[in-house]
A and B are shown apart, each in its own frame.
Chain A
Amino acid sequence: MTDVIQNAIDALSLGSLYALLALGVALIFGIMRLLNFAHGQLIVVGGYSLWVLDGLPTPLQILGTVLIVIAFALALELIAFRPLRNADPAVLLVSSFAVAFLMENLALVIFGGRAKGVPLPEWLSDNLVIGSLRVPVLSVVSVIAAAVLLASLAAFLSRTSIGIQMRAAAENFGTARLLGVRANTVIMAAFAISGVLAATASILIIAKGGTVTPGMGTAPVLIAFIAVIIGGLGSLKGAVYGGLLLGILTVVLQVILPLSLRPYRDAFVYGVVLLVLTLRPQGLVVLRSALQRV
């Protein structure tokens, strides 16, 4: 029984991390049809910010990291994506792929390929002991962070003017603009929020792994993409479900796969993803606005 609860907690915390990642990607995609490959590099930026700002009091270190990541997210949109506004989704995807590759290699040029250790406060790596249960503090923090961010994002999207404009833009960008929604404002806001999400994910990932390398952004962004796709492209709710599902699937496979097959865990995860796509090509949550009309 203890094992089951232990694994459930693991699944939930991994799932909420994945949901955060997926949400950052889905938000941008919903508004400008850009699958932002560079989202993963924002996580790397977050990691190196933590490393550079090491020595400051923890709250300042985290605040600084979030601000730097937001600045990078906005710079990405201004420099790389704005000149390509309205381009074909495939062109946008390739350009974001190129941006990610550029940032990864720039980090390699600047910081070198060796992993940098980022010491974070010790209480993060402690365990909460409840009876026979040992719950890592980090898991609790992940779940709480994800829940808080999700709730505030939901409130932002439904209560504030700019949030409502963003939803309108995601539904139909052209019509929203005709009704007076400013394209640049909405897109900048989306990038800023994706920056916050990336910074949070980055802090959680660094807290778990303890080091930062130039190449560490690729795996998370791939997970985010897959989660967004199985959730249904363009749907924020779908992205959250997709992320949770992927996290749970990963932990479940880790537990049930026999030892000899365990190294292939990710292969199985992606195999299941391909299976889901075979059975439901549109993803789990199908948006009416995402369906093409003739």
Chain B
Amino acid sequence: MTERSATFTFVMRAIWPVLSLCLILAAIWLIAQSQSLVFQREVTQMMINVVLVVGLYVFAGNSGVLSFGHMCFMAIGAYVTALLTIPEIQKGVLLPDLPGFLADVHLETFPAAIVVGLVCAAFAALIALPIVRVQPLAAALAMFAVLVIVHEVAQEWDAVTRGSRTMIGVPTNTSMNTALLWAVAAIVVAYLYQRSASGLRLRAAREDDFAARAVGINVTRERAIAFVLSGFIIGIGGFLYAQFQGAFTPNDFFIAITFLTIAMLVIGGTKSLAGAVVGAVSVSLLSNFFDSVESGELGPFTVPERPGLSATLLAGFLIGGLILRRNGLMGGREFEWRRPAVLDRWRNRRAVADVDTPRNSG
């Protein structure tokens, strides 16, 4: 093998797990270019789902501790986005009782996204202590308690969140392109984290808690790091969602989205980044399909409209998927780089020919 192709293989081995996922998203983005506006909106929502599920994966996937409350970061992200980006005059009308400094603040899109992520990360750091210390099942439900708290505060804190009324007037800056870029960024960050020393230590603890502790890994600390990072990413997801929809209520960040993101992660396979992305993409497609069934269009057929049908079908699919493939579609594997088999065969044949020829002539 020549030195150049060895380097190429080395590089590809390192970046292919990320590159392949980005290529999948890019392909979908490319297909969507020529499609209807409705389809493009669905693709945008899919990219946002990728951000959310990758964020969930950073904690749940790497640590093996599931969480039923990570969408609280999405809620906080969305509300902070509203406070930071709704134009001041409109904000004065919508939220007349807003505390002073919040009423005056206004940020451009990108800085706002970063601030939103940081606020969510700070909140994650604040609540991390009980979550990362309790045993995995208890942690999953303790997070649910956090979600309930955040939901109730969002629903009652009229002065800042408009209570249970719809928050409106958020500038709609999330396009399909920006959503794609953020999804790619989330994937890259998640991959860098899982290959970092801290990420590897956490994954070791996921496989065997006691062995990991025995070699000196501080499991609590590593979990906390992943927890804060996942809070940041999901916060960005909330930012994208807010700037995509322009309007939302506290119920957008409660049971339904929690179920959807967990379904995506588990169907894809919790233990790998590829699982998170594949799950998010495939379940988004499926859920869009079921939604259209629910609203009565089934290709050329029309069926009677039935609220709740889409979620029922999705849940049934999830249970079936779990029974058939406990470890998800990806089964905990990443997309590993392999030279295409055809290339190998061709190269082998040539090598054999090279060896054979001199012998024959000699």
Among A80, A91, A225, A229, contact of B266 (Cβ-Cβ < 8 Å): A91
Q: Contact: B262 with A97, CB < 8 Å? A: yes
Closest residue of chain A to B158 (Cβ to Cβ) is: A263
Q: How far is the CB of B203 from chain A (nearest CB, A)?
A: 15
Q: How far is the CB of B295 from chain A (nearest CB, A)?
A: 14
Q: Does A174 contact B (CB under 8 A)?
A: no
Q: How far is the CB of B234 from chain A (nearest CB, A)?
A: 18
Q: Contact: A98 with B140, CB < 8 Å? A: no
Q: Contact: B326 with A109, CB < 8 Å? A: no
Q: Contact: A97 with B308, CB < 8 Å? A: no
Given contacts A102-B319, A108-B307, A109-B308, contact A91 B140 (CB under 8 A): no
Residues from chain A with Cβ under 8 Å of B298 in the complex: none
Q: Contact: B315 with A267, CB < 8 Å? A: no
Interface residues of A in 196-240 (CB under 8 A from B): 214, 218, 222, 225-226, 229, 233
Given contacts A98-B322, A113-B307, contact A277 B130 (CB under 8 A): yes
Q: Contact: B315 with A102, CB < 8 Å? A: yes
**Interface 1/0 per residue, A67-107 and B, CB below 8 Å:** 00000000000001001100111110111011101101111
Query: Is the interface on chain A under 10, 10 to 19, 20 to 34, or 35 or more residues?
Result: 35 or more
Q: How far is the CB of B314 from chain A (nearest CB, A)?
A: 8
Give the contact stretch, choosing among A15-23, A58-66, A251-259, A268-276. A268-276
Among A105, A274, A282, contact of B130 (Cβ-Cβ < 8 Å): A274
Q: Report how far A112 CA is from B318 CA in the complex, Å.
A: 23
Q: Contact: A89 with B136, CB < 8 Å? A: yes
**Interface 1/0 per residue, A248-292 and B, CB below 8 Å:** 000000000000000110110011011101100111000000001
Given contacts A91-B266, A264-B153, contact A84 B322 (CB under 8 A): yes
Q: Contact: A97 with B138, CB < 8 Å? A: no
Residues from chain A with Cβ under 8 Å of B145 in the complex: 222, 226, 270, 273-274
Q: How far is the CB of A32 from chain B (nearest CB, A)?
A: 13
Residues from chain A with Cβ under 8 Å of B312 in the complex: 102, 105-106, 108-109
Q: Does B129 contact A (CB under 8 A)?
A: yes
Q: Report how far A277 CA is from B145 CA in the complex, Å.
A: 11
Q: Does B342 contact A (CB under 8 A)?
A: no
**Interface 1/0 per residue, A114-156 and B, CB below 8 Å:** 0000000000000000000000000000000000000000000
**Interface 1/0 per residue, B113-152 and A, CB below 8 Å:** 0000000000000010110011111101110111011001
Q: Report how far A267 CA is from B156 CA in the complex, Å.
A: 11
Q: Does B193 contact A (CB under 8 A)?
A: no
Closest residue of chain B to A96 (Cβ to Cβ) is: B319
Residues from chain B with Cβ under 8 Å of A233 in the complex: 135, 137-138
Among B127, B133, B326, contact of A87 (Cβ-Cβ < 8 Å): B326
Q: Does B249 contact A (CB under 8 A)?
A: no
Q: Contact: B140 with A93, CB < 8 Å? A: yes
Given contacts A94-B66, A98-B263, A267-B153, contact A229 B138 (CB under 8 A): yes
Among B145, B156, B307, chain A packs the most CB atoms within 10 A around the CB of B145
Given contacts A108-B308, A226-B141, contact A278 B322 (CB under 8 A): no
Q: Contact: A281 with B133, CB < 8 Å? A: yes
Residues from chain A with Cβ under 8 Å of B133 in the complex: 277-278, 281
Q: Contact: A35 with B141, CB < 8 Å? A: yes
Residues from chain A with Cβ under 8 Å of B322 in the complex: 84, 91, 94-95, 98
Residues from chain B with Cβ under 8 Å of A102 in the complex: 311-312, 315-316, 319
Q: Contact: A225 with B141, CB < 8 Å? A: yes
Q: Contact: A109 with B309, CB < 8 Å? A: yes
Residues from chain A with Cβ under 8 Å of B308 in the complex: 104-109, 113, 214
Q: Does A294 contact B (CB under 8 A)?
A: yes
Q: Contact: A97 with B326, CB < 8 Å? A: no
Q: Does B64 contact A (CB under 8 A)?
A: yes
Q: Contact: B152 with A267, CB < 8 Å? A: yes
Residues from chain A with Cβ under 8 Å of B335 in the complex: none
Among A107, A266, A278, A294, contact of B152 (Cβ-Cβ < 8 Å): A266
Q: Report how far A214 CA is from B306 CA in the complex, Å.
A: 14
Q: Contact: A271 with B149, CB < 8 Å? A: yes
Q: Report how far A84 CA is from B324 CA in the complex, Å.
A: 9
Interface residues of B in 157-173 (CB under 8 A from A): none
Q: Does B255 contact A (CB under 8 A)?
A: yes
Q: Contact: B315 with A84, CB < 8 Å? A: no
Q: Contact: A84 with B136, CB < 8 Å? A: no
Residues from chain B with Cβ under 8 Å of A222 in the complex: 141, 144-145, 148
Given contacts A35-B141, A84-B323, A294-B210, contact A94 B266 (CB under 8 A): yes
Q: Contact: A97 with B259, CB < 8 Å? A: yes
Q: How far is the CB of A99 from chain B (nearest CB, A)?
A: 6
Q: Report how far A109 CA is from B140 CA in the complex, Å.
A: 29
10 pairs, CB–CB < 8 Å, chain A vs chain B: A91-B326, A95-B322, A97-B259, A99-B315, A106-B312, A108-B308, A112-B307, A113-B308, A226-B145, A281-B138
Residues on A facing B (Cβ under 8 Å): 35, 80, 83-84, 87-91, 93-95, 97-99, 101-102, 104-109, 112-113, 214, 218, 222, 225-226, 229, 233, 263-264, 266-267, 270-271, 273-275, 277-278, 281-283, 292, 294
Nearest 4 A/B pairs, CB to CB: A108-B308, A102-B315, A270-B145, A105-B308
Residues on B facing A (Cβ under 8 Å): 64, 66, 68, 127, 129-130, 133-138, 140-142, 144-146, 148-149, 152-153, 156, 209-210, 255, 259, 262-263, 266, 270, 306-309, 311-312, 315-316, 318-319, 322-323, 326
